[in-house]
Amino acid sequence: MAKHKQIAILDAGSQFCGQIDRVVHELEVDCDILPINTPVNNLNRYRALIISGGPDSINEPGAKQCDPKIFESGKPVLGICYGMQLIAKYMGGTVSDSGLREDGKTQTEFSTSPLFKNIDSSQQVWMSHGDSVDKLPPGFEIIGGHKNFISAIANDKKLIYGLQFHPEVHNTPRGKNIFNNFLFDIAGVVKDFSAENRLKTCMEEIKEVIGDKHVILYLSGGVDSTVMAVLIAKTLPSPEKIHAYHIDNGFMRAGESTAVALALKNLGVKVNVIRAADKFFNASTLIHGKTTKQLKYIADPQEKRKIIGDCFASIRGDIIHNKSLPADTVLAQGTLRPDIIESGSSLAGTGLDTIKTHHNDTDGIRKLRDESLVVEPLKFLYKDQVRSLGRDLGLPDKMVNRHPFPGPGLAIRIICSDGTMGNRVKLEKSQDNLDKILKNTGVEGDVLPIQTVGVQGDGRTYAYAAVLRCNNPDWHRLSDLSRKITNAKININRVTYGYINKTPAQEPVITYLNHRTTTQLRKADHIVRDIINKDGSKLGINQMPVILAPTSYGKSGQRTIALRPFITPDFMTGEAALPGLGIPAKTINSCVQQLLKLDYISQVLIDLTSKPPGTTEWE
C-alpha cells in the first residue's frame, strides 16, 4: 500500500474531470483532484500527473495556466484536450483555431505507442474542442490523427503524452485501456485503492451531517431521490425525525404525483404531497440583487431554473414553520455529480463553466450548504452508479430503471418566448451558412428563431436550433450532417429533423409557463410515454424528453413538439437514438402520427444531436 496517493488530476475546469477520477479509481489507483495552477513543489509526492480538459481557449487572455515546471519535473504526464494544448504551448508547439469544432464521436488512427498497447490502430473516440495543436513541440511525435487534426502526441523520452479526445467518457470504448497503459506501464504505479462499500460511505455522510437533527426529504419519485430516501430511512434511528415530501410544482406529468406517492408508500416511505402550482407560477427571486418577474412571465431558461430552485428552497422554510420544526432542520436532496458539474458548483471542481443552473444547486441551496443544512449523500455519484446502489438496497427494477425526470419538470421542456425573433441579422447569417453546408445534399434546412443550451469544449453555449427537411430520411446521413453543422461554428448547437416538410413561421409564438401550455405538453408527453411503455422501446433508451417549442408551421398559435430519445449511462455524454438506430422506427412514427392529431401541434421534430454539443434537455 502506497503511503501517499500516486496520481494528481489537475483540473482545468472540465465537465469530465470527475470521470477521470472515476476511471482511475475503477483501475484501483487512488488520486487527488487539484486546481490546474497547483505549483510543481506541491506535486512532489505524486508519481504521475493527469491534466484535464477545460472550457478556455488557450490563446485568449485569462485562459487557465499550469505551472510549466511540471513538464521538466521528470514525472509522467497525460494531458487531455486542453491539457494536451497546454503541453504543446509550454513545450514549444503552437495551438490555433481552425474555424471548425469537433464534438461527438470521431474515428481516429493510432500509431504504435506504449500509450496504445493492445489497442487496434483505428478507434472511435469522443471529441469536444475548438482549438487544435497545429505545430508539434520539439521532441514530440504524432501518435494519433484523423483528417487534418492531430489527436494524440507523445514524447516517450520525457514520458509526456497528449490526447485531443476524451478517453475518460464511455463513448471512447478503449479509453479505460489507455488509462491502464499510462498508469501501470508508463507511470509504473501500483494498485493501492479498494473502493469502499458505497452503501457504508453514504450512510456515514448521513450520520455526520444530520446527526440527531430533523430532516426534510424532497422526493421526486425518481431513482436518485428514492435511493436517498431509503438510505436515510435505513440509517437514522428516529423515524419521527424524518419528514418526506413530494412537491407538485404544477409542472408534473399526467398522474405523476399520485404515482410517486403510491410507489414510495410501497417501499415503506410515507410521503406527504404538497400542491404548490400557484406558488411556483407566481414565484420570483433575486438575481444580481434585482427581483425578477414572476415565473409565468419569464422566457430566459436560466432565470426559470433559478426561480424554480429558490422556490423549492423556500418551501423548506414553510414546512419548518407549519410543522414547528427546529430551525436547523436539514434538507436532503438526491443531487448527483452531473448536477453539480453542470451548475458550475465548487463541490465538483475549480473553474467549471455553468452550463445550466440545476434546481438543486441554486444560490438558495448553496446558502443552506454553507450553513451545513443540506445532506446530499449521492453528490459524487453518476446515474449508473446510483442505479447499482439502488439494486444493492433491494429496490425493484421498475424503480431503478425509471427514466429521469428533471426537478423543474415540464417547466424546462416548454421553450418560452416573448414572440420576437431577437437578433435578426445573427439568425440570417446562421441561415446563410446553413444553406451553404446543405448545398447539393438534397436536404434543406431552417434555423429556428429559438435558442437552446449546449455544452461544447467544456463550456456553455446558447445557440440556435436547426431543422433539416427531406423526403425518405437516411438517418446515418442526417446524423453526419448534424455533426458537420454543429462543428462549423455557425451559432447552431442543435440539429433536428422535421417530419412536416414545410418552412416554419419566422416569428416565434408567444409562449410562457401557464396552465394552458403546461396542459398541452402534459398531454403530448403522456401520448409518447404511453407508446414507448407499451411497445417496450423505453428499455432501449435512457431518457426521452418531450419538448414544446414556440414555432408554428401552420395556423397561428400552433406550436411544435420535439422528441429527444437519448442513449447514455451517466448523462455526461451520449448519443441521439434515431429511428432504427437505437429506437424502433415504428415507435417514432406512431408518436409522430398521434402528436399531429393534436389541434395545437403543427410539426414534430426528432433531435439528431449528441452530447456534446447539445445537452440532454433543451434548457
pLDDT digits over 562-571, tens only?
Answer: 999 999 887 8
7-186 CATH, one of 3.30.365.10, 3.40.367.20, 3.40.50.880, 2.40.50.100? 3.40.50.880
What average pLDDT does this structure show over 108-122? 95
* pLDDT tens track for 309-321: 899 889 989 999 9
Q: How far apart are the first and last CA of the chain?
A: 46
- Mean pLDDT rounded to a whole number for the chain: 90
Are 254 and 525 spatial neighbours (Cβ–Cβ below 8 Å)? yes
Q: Residue 291: pLDDT above 70?
A: yes
Count of CB atoms situated within 10 Å of the CB of 478: 20
Q: Can you give the pLDDT at residue 2?
A: 42
What confidence score (pLDDT) does residue 201 get?
Answer: 77
Per-residue confidence (pLDDT) for residue 193, from 0 to 100? 80
Q: What's the rounded mean pLDDT across residues 158-181?
A: 95
Of 72-76, 215-219, 586-590, which gets the smallest average pLDDT? 215-219
Least confident of 69-78, 128-137, 347-356: 347-356
Whether residue 1 has pLDDT greater than 50: no
Class of the 198-409 domain?
Answer: alpha beta
Q: How many Å is the Cα radius of gyration of the chain?
A: 25
- At residue 343, the pLDDT reads 59
What are the helix (H) ranges across 171-290? 175-180, 198-210, 223-235, 256-266, 277-281
Of 464, 502, 497, the residue nearest 478 (C-alpha) = 497
- 223 in Cβ contact with 399 (< 8 Å): yes
What average pLDDT score do residues 319-348 get?
Answer: 80
Active site residue 168: yes
Residue 254 DSSP one-character state = T
pLDDT greater than 60 at residue 347: no
pLDDT for 353: 56
The answer to whether residues 46 and 5 touch, using CB atoms and an 8 Å cutoff, is yes
Catalytic residue among 129, 146, 166, 243: 166
User: Considering 168, 256, 303, 575, which one is annotated as catalytic?
Assistant: 168
Q: How confident is the model at residue 78 (pLDDT cuts 50, 70, 90)?
A: very high
Alpha-carbon gap, residue 202 to 377, rounded angstroms: 5
Give the model confidence (pLDDT) of 545-579 as tens digits.
Answer: 999 999 999 888 899 999 999 998 878 888 999 99
pLDDT of residue 186: 98
Residue 27 CB neighbour total at 10 angstroms: 18
- By three-state DSSP, how is residue 397 classified? helix
Read off the pLDDT band of 340 (50, 70, 90): low
Cis check for the bond before 613: say yes or no (omega within 30 of 0).
yes
Instruction: Fill in the DSSP letter of residue 346.
Output: T
pLDDT of residue 403: 85
Taken as a whole, the chain contains a residue count of 619
CATH 3.40.50.620 residue ranges of the chain are 198-409
- Report which of residues 337 and 105 the model is more confident about: 105
Share of residues in the chain with pLDDT > 90 (%):
65
Which of 150, 153, 123, 127 is closest to 140 using CA atoms? 153
With 80 as the cut, is the pLDDT of residue 4 above it?
Answer: no
In b/e form, how buried is each residue of 372-390, taking b as 16+ CB within 10 angstroms?
Answer: ebbbbbbbbbbbebbbebb
Is 81 assigned a catalytic role?
yes
pLDDT tens digits along 477-535: 999 999 999 988 899 999 999 999 999 998 999 999 999 999 999 999 999 999 999 99
Contacts of 289 by beta carbon, 8 Å cutoff, 6+ apart: none
The answer to whether 546 and 561 have CB atoms below 8 angstroms apart is yes
Q: Is 359 exposed, middle or buried (0-12, 13-18, 19+ CB in 10 A)?
A: buried
Helix-, strand-, coil-residue percentages of the chain, each rounded to 5:
35, 25, 40
Half-sphere exposure (Cβ direction) of 607: Cα atoms closer than 13 Å: 33
* Side chain identity at residue 351, one-letter code: G
- Asked if residue 7 has pLDDT above 60, the reply is yes
pLDDT for res 393: 85
Q: Where in the chain is the domain with CATH 3.40.50.880?
A: 7-186
Instruction: Judge whether 500 and 603 are in contact, CB under 8 Å.
Output: yes
pLDDT at position 341, please? 65
pLDDT at 296: 97
Report the C-alpha gap between 226 and 233 in whole angstroms.
11
Residue 103, pLDDT above cutoff 90: no
Confidence of residue 261 (pLDDT cuts 50, 70, 90): confident
**Which whole-number Å values give the CA distances from 334 to 192, 202, 375, 376, 588, in the listed order?**
30, 12, 9, 6, 32
Question: Which residue would you say has higher pLDDT here, 267 or 76?
Answer: 76
Interval 405-457: pLDDT, tens: 888 899 999 999 999 888 899 999 999 999 999 999 999 999 999 999 998 76
3-state secondary structure of 342: helix
Strand bridging mode 7-11 / 31-35: parallel
C-alpha to C-alpha distance for 451 and 466, rounded to whole angstroms: 9
Considering only the C-alpha atoms of the chain, give the largest distance between any 2 of them, rounded to a whole number of Å: 71
Alpha-carbon distances of 401 from 158, 190, 202, 265, 456, rounded to whole Å: 46, 36, 21, 18, 28
ω before 301 within 30° of 0 (cis)? no
As a whole number, mean pLDDT of residues 50-70 equals 92
Catalytic residue among 31, 81, 202, 470: 81
